[in-house]
Amino acid sequence: MVILQVLAVLMVTMLIALAPPANGNMLLVPLMPQRTAAVVAVEQGALIVAKGRFGQTLVVRGRFGAIAWPLLREGTLTIGAPAVLCGGTPAA
């Protein structure tokens, strides 16, 4: 039972850490191989900031409300962009 509680706390902590901001940098994680995520994000007003650290991920700056659903329909998950996953250094 204690193990399940610890796992639940870890999962909630991870979800909070990866929650995308309403406005700001977000990490686009393709769930299917394709090249349309950048196009869809830019069409919705996002600015491409950098290539992500892993695979085909991409860091963009924009409004979560504007880009999340169009990107999800294209098979791309939008999460927060922590520096560790995006090639930057954590804030001191």
Is 26 contained in some domain? yes
Average pLDDT value for residue range 27-56: 85
Q: pTM here?
A: 0.71
Is 20 contained in some domain? yes
* Confidence (pLDDT) at 4: 84
Domain count for the chain, please give it: 1
For residue range 59-80, list pLDDT tens digits in order. 999 999 899 899 988 889 888 8
Is 92 contained in some domain? no
* Confidence (pLDDT) at 23: 83
Q: Is the dihedral of CA 75, 81, 82, 86 positive or negative?
A: positive
For residue range 36-47, list pLDDT tens digits in order. 788 889 999 999
Average pLDDT value for residue range 20-28: 84
* Confidence (pLDDT) at 89: 46
* Confidence (pLDDT) at 87: 56
- Residue scoring higher pLDDT (55 or 26): 26
Q: Range of 56's domain? A: 2-86
Is 91 contained in some domain? no
